[in-house]
Amino acid sequence: MSNDPIISVQGVSKRFCRSLKRTMLYGVTDVARDLCGVSQQWIGLRPDEFWALDDVSFDVQRGECLGLIGPNGAGKSTLLKLLNGITLPDRGMIKISGRVGALLELGAGLHPLLSGRENIRINGVLRGLSETEIDARYDKIIEFADLGDFIDGPVKHYSSGMYVRLGFAIAVHINPDIFLVDEALAVGDALFQARCFAKLRELKANGTTIIFVTHSLDLVSAHCSRALLLDKAKVVTQGASKDVVDHFNCLLRMKGAPPTLGKPAGFEASADSNQPHQTAWARLFRTNPGAHRYGSRRSEIIETGIFSTGGLAVQVLERNAEYLIRVKIRHNENMPSAIVSFVIKDPQGTVLCGTNTLFQNASMGHKRAGDVDVVTFRQRIRLNPGEYLLSVGSQELAPDGYVVHDLQMDQLAFQVVGQELRHGIFDPEATVTWEVLC
């Protein structure tokens, strides 16, 4: 019995419909079929429908913490809803042996006119506790939510943070065998988040099985023993969380490129394209369409990209690995001393670092009108994990002063990932030694 998986998902598929009007039509026909007891297994996709989940199978063992990752719209939330039994699969079978607690939306089911205390009672019973069980947990819930006097006030006067605190406090004290969490921890202040994770660790230590949907890969690596990667309604891979996170990074790099995975050769070719005039890189990167751009355009930046040393286009960078920042530039006039520069900012706009060909004493020499160059900055990425923005520019140090030809602000977004923890933006790269004095 204990060797059986606590959750077993076999070949589960779920349809969704894009059109609201058709949804109503399909709703009626589905209901009619259900009432007549007609099996719906065989039905394929009808007009405007798509698979939100397509033939998903996996098992979860007792006490495991499974991270569910994948890009937006991959089907993660749908999967959680199916596991919680809120909707039924259209194909396949889900078997669950244990009491399920779920936090699909923080504060779901709190009544705005009731006080916090009244809501604890009714929400607890809704989530399957008996009233004696609630009484036993009542003080713990109030202590965890830490709302002070607001606990006696109506929930409609709560701030969104307070709402979240109460919702999480109730859900986490259900002590289920299986706990489903959907992205919910992304809210609340840092202190409360820390408390939530401490509580989840406590649950895990007590043998609760946790399934956890998130976009934060660091959380998956830190908390989950296993992970499952969903993309476009299908399971791409599952296994040890580190391997799955690596796979996801790889997937993100391929975003926007032709779909087949594991064919990096094609991208290598386009990076060193023989047709520099064509915008071959653009489709490889998540660029900023509204990027601010100014300059005389006497020399123009055609494209910008970040590549691995092997020539693969990347947007998720490993900390401390080497990458190539490449700028493709076309000179529309004769250019005796062109300069190409880049700057990296954080999303708040603080300039973190940057350099240019002049600072690096890398003269490009005299350029004639019509020349196209690719400038490559070989960079070790010392930034700590996070989101960053790359700006690039083409300038000239003309006799009458410094001229901007083409400056593209925040042209490219990229992400840095890494396992080790550091404070701040940069890895200080400290070397630590101990001397025992006495």
Partner 1 sequence: MEQTIRSSTLSDPVGRPVESSPVEIEYSPAGVKRNGANGWSLMVKEIADNRRLIWLLIRRDISVRYRQSILGYVWAVLPPLLTVATFAFLNASRVIPIGNTRIPYVAFALWGLSVWQLFAGCLSACTASLVASGALVTKVNFPRETLVIAALGQPVFDFCVRLLPVIAVFVWYGVMPHWGVVFVPLLLLIVTLLALGFGFVLSIANLVFRDTSNALGMALTVGMFLTPVLYPAPVRWPFFLVNVLNPLSPFVTATQDLIAIGYISRPEMLVAACLFSFALAFGGWHAFHVTIPRVAGYA
Binding-site ranges for partner 1 (CB under 8 A): 1, 23-24, 27-28, 30-31, 34-35, 39-41, 81-82, 84-102, 104-105, 108-109, 111, 113-114, 118, 121-122, 125-128, 130-133, 136, 154, 174, 176-177
Q: Is 400 exposed, middle or buried (0-12, 13-18, 19+ CB in 10 A)?
A: exposed
Q: With contact defined as beta carbons under 8 Å apart, do 101 and 109 qualify?
A: no
Q: Determine how many CB atoms are found less than 10 A away from the CB of residue 121.
A: 17
CB closer to partner 1, 3 vs 348: 3
Nearer to partner 1, 16 or 144 (CB): 16
Please enumerate in sequence order all residues whose Cβ is within 8 A of that of 192, keeping only pairs 6 or more positions apart, or say none: 146, 161, 164, 165
Q: How far is the CB of 47 from partner 1 (least distance, A)?
A: 18
CA–CA separation, 186 and 429 (whole Å)? 30
Cβ at position 179, least distance to partner 1 in Å: 10
Strand (E) or helix (H) holding 122: helix 116-126
| Residue 329 contacts residue 301 (beta carbons within 8 Å) | yes
Q: Based on CB atoms, which residue is closest to partner 1, 105 or 322?
A: 105
The nearest distance, CB 111 to partner 1, in angstroms, is: 6
In sequence order, what are the beta bridge partners of 408? 293, 392
Could you tell me which residues are beta bridge partners of residue 354? 343
Dihedral pair phi/psi, residue 409, rounded to 5°:
-80, 140
Residue 205 structure tokens? 């230590």
**Smaller CB separation from partner 1, 90 or 246:** 90
* Cβ proximity to partner 1, 46 vs 111, nearer residue: 111
Residue 90 and residue 52: Cα distance in Å, rounded? 11
Distance CA 79, CA 63 (A): 19
Q: Using CA atoms, how far apart are residues 133 and 120, in angstroms rounded to an integer?
A: 12
Cβ proximity to partner 1, 141 vs 364, nearer residue: 141
Q: Report the nearest approach of partner 1 to the CB of residue 40 (Å).
A: 5
DSSP 45: P
Which lies closer to partner 1 via its Cβ, residue 157 or residue 277?
Answer: 157
**Minimum CB separation from partner 1 for residue 428, in Å?**
44
Closer residue to partner 1 in complex, CB, 35/436: 35
Which residue in the block uniquely carries the two structure tokens 């700057």?
343
Q: Which is nearest to 128 in space by CA: 178, 81, 166, 163?
A: 178
Question: What is the rounded CA–CA span in Å between residue 5 and residue 199?
Answer: 24
Instruction: Give the shortest CB-61-to-partner 1 separation in angstroms.
Output: 15
Of residues 272, 291, 317, 303, the one with CA closest to residue 394:
303
| Closest CB to partner 1 among residues 233, 343 | 233
> Nearest distance from residue 45's CB to partner 1, in Å?
15
Q: In angstroms, what is the minimal distance from the CB of 358 to partner 1?
A: 57
Q: How far is the CB of 131 from partner 1 (least distance, A)?
A: 6
End-to-end CA distance of the chain: 57
DSSP letter assigned to residue 282: G
